[in-house]
Amino acid sequence: MDIKLEKELIQRAKNNTDAFAELYKEYYDRIFGYVLKRTADIIITQDITSEVFIKALENIKYFHWKGISFSNWLYQIANHEIINGHRKAKQSLILFEELKHVPLELEKSLEAETIEAEEQLKQHQQFLAIHKSIANLPVKYQEVIVLRFFEKKQVKEIGEILGKREGTIRSLIHRGLKKLKEILEEDRIFAASLSTKEESDV
């Protein structure tokens, strides 16, 4: 989306839900994809993504295009919800109904969204193969690794989303990759030992 148009939409969205609906339509899939990569769980992703846009709708009147883009602001909300919001472990089937003023035609059915999400997961076999290892990292490393290597965010953008200096982000990426490599190596050795044990038991 053109930045000028986006800024106009954001300004209008503070008092006009049709304008917010355009932003919702523009960014929903991107935020859904990010949350899916962080959780690898479709139901949790649906829950968290709906929460992100509920929070965005409630707080867009406070958003000012200073220091962070609207897109990265949404990632920032998503990151917060992944870390803190989901600890509430809410079990509601869908929260989009709380976005009552957003045109209904923009909402996806749970069935269609689930099918699409399953396809996304299938297309990210590399990610799925190491997701368990990434999930074993401290959250501070999970954040930067997924944002940098799966969302293709630049260091500056990651700094905006996480509220950290670029030097800190680079250091986190470096240390996170080092720890991830160690975990993957341990998993490889463990898998090899299991295979050897199975062969000896035959």
What tens digit of pLDDT does each residue of 78-102 get?
Answer: 999 998 755 544 433 333 344 444 4
Q: Which pTM value belongs to this model? A: 0.76
pLDDT, position 195: 46
Q: Which CATH architecture has domain 124-202?
A: Orthogonal Bundle (1.10)
Q: From the centroid of its chain, how far is CA 96?
A: 17
**Higher pLDDT residue, 113 or 161?**
161
The token duo for 171 is 């250091």
Domain 1-119 has CATH 1.10.1740.10: yes
Residue 199's pLDDT band (boundaries 50, 70, 90)?
A: very low
Cβ atoms of 91 and 147 closer than 8 Å = no
Query: b/e per residue, 111-135, with b = 16+ CB within 10 A?
Result: eebeeebeebbeebeebeeebebbe
Among candidate residues 86, 17, 96, 2, the one with its CA nearest the CA of residue 53: 96
pLDDT, position 101: 46
Tell me: pLDDT of 106 over 60. Answer: no
Q: So where are the chain's domains? A: 1-119, 124-202
Length, in residues, of the chain? 202
Mean pLDDT of 124-136: 74
Residue 111's pLDDT band (boundaries 50, 70, 90)?
A: low
Cβ atoms of 16 and 3 closer than 8 Å = no
The token duo for 104 is 């209904």
Tell me: pLDDT of 52 over 70. Answer: yes
Averaged pLDDT score across all residues of the chain: 79
